[in-house]
Amino acid sequence: MSKQRIVVGLSGGVDSAVTAHLLKQQGHEVVGIFMKNWDDDDDSEYCSSNIDFVDAAAVADVLGIEIEHVNFAAEYRDRVFAEFLREYQAGRTPNPDILCNAEIKFKAFLDHAMRLGAEKIATGHYARVRLNEASGQHELLKGLDPAKDQSYFLHRLNQAQLSKTLFPVGELHKTEVRRIADDIGLPNAKKKDSTGICFIGERPFRDFLNRYISKEPGAIKNPKGHTIGEHVGLSFYTLGQRQGLGIGGIKAKGAQRGGGDHNPWFVASKDLDNNTLWVVQGHDHPWLLSDSLSALNASWVAGTPPAPQSVGAKTRYRQADAPCTFHADGPATFALQFPQAQWAVTPGQSAVLYHGEVCLGGGVIEQASALTR
């Protein structure tokens, strides 16, 4: 690759730091940009933005590159956070990191980088981009480290975005990335990976949601229709959830008295019309299993839906690809049929499709059919 001007999203973490180093090592002109996407609570103990910028600036200093601090908080609030709240209020469980990638990191940030005269942008994501010579199209591939692959979160990227994007650490395993950072003396070589949604950070999720969504308590019911507790508001729960239900000590009718061994309760469905949270006992209860789903708001890496075929699908991050048959109902809607039932398929989350290591795209889960109800 000839020398190019490449703008790297420096987050303060080790992955983006090594990304910048690798590109500089290849002879490119590298400029760092730190994106600030959230400014509601800069003084909060949970907001790490200021610390992260200090870390990013220290990395830029060691690498000998310029760094610019850019505030995308207004774009983030309009394009990502507003949608996040709408989905939660509708009883669904959205994945804002997917929207953040499509709308901020590979749109607002990409546009800003192009205005700075960049030919490409790069981020520290564990994924790969490949130009398919036969089709002339760019393909999104899984990262080589299966434990860190982030293609699930990037499935909404299109041809224009991929053609301008590099993912250098997608070719490496995380252990190798940390070794490189250590070898070149990066100050954040041992920094812990960030977890949680980008604007929430490490704070308790329910506390955060409380500030924006009002509580509407209602009944928690078991499959027999018996009320066994009270929920604080349907928005605060997701399918498959077992922590924080407040019903841990309740046993199923007929369970042996005094026996400490009883199955945990899981959220199985949310009835918005009646403000009821339905729960079941046991991880493999039929209400938690689905053999089909429908999805909408689809986005395809190639620009058009794939032909009906057998594919692998993830209905949540860190899940192994589940074999299924795919059928497009239109350019933006599709259905999946699974020979083996899937656990806690959650409306609002994304169903992402793969053909081997190639990510085809995906959509937002609208509904899933439980095996029995």
> Rounded to a whole number, what is the distance in angstroms from the first to the last CA of the chain?
57
Are the C-beta atoms of residues 371 and 286 closer than 8 Å to each other?
yes
Known catalytic residue at 100: yes
Helix axes 49-63, 14-25, angle to 10 degrees: 20
Q: Label residues 114-143 b or e (16+ Cβ within 10 Å = b).
A: eeeebebbbbbbbbbbeeeeeeeebbbbbb
Known catalytic residue at 359: no
Tell me the C-alpha to C-alpha distance, in Å, between residue 260 and each of 203, 250, 264, 266.
32, 11, 11, 18
Q: What is the DSSP string of 275-299?
A: TEEEEEESTT-GGGEEEEEEEEEEE
Query: Given phi > 0 = left and psi -120 to 50 = alpha, else beta, which region is 241?
Result: beta
| 8-state DSSP, 96 | H
| 8-state DSSP, 49 | H
User: One of 47, 198, 324, 359 is an active-site residue; which one?
Assistant: 198
- Residue closest to 106 by CA, chosen among 61, 146, 65, 138: 138
Number of other residues whose CB lies within 10 A of the CB of residue 331: 11
**What is d(CA 71, CA 299) in angstroms, rounded to the nearest whole number?**
27
* Helices within 44-199 (DSSP H only): 49-63, 73-76, 82-89, 96-100, 109-115, 159-163, 174-183
**What is d(CA 157, CA 143) in angstroms, rounded to the nearest whole number?**
15
- Check the CA dihedral 6-8-14-17 and report its sign: positive
User: One of 47, 100, 324, 359 is an active-site residue; which one?
Assistant: 100
Query: What six digits make up the tokens of 334?
Result: 């599709």
Bridge partners (DSSP) listed for residue 267: 279
The maximal CA–CA distance of the chain, rounded, in angstroms, is 73
Mind telling me the catalytic residues?
100, 198
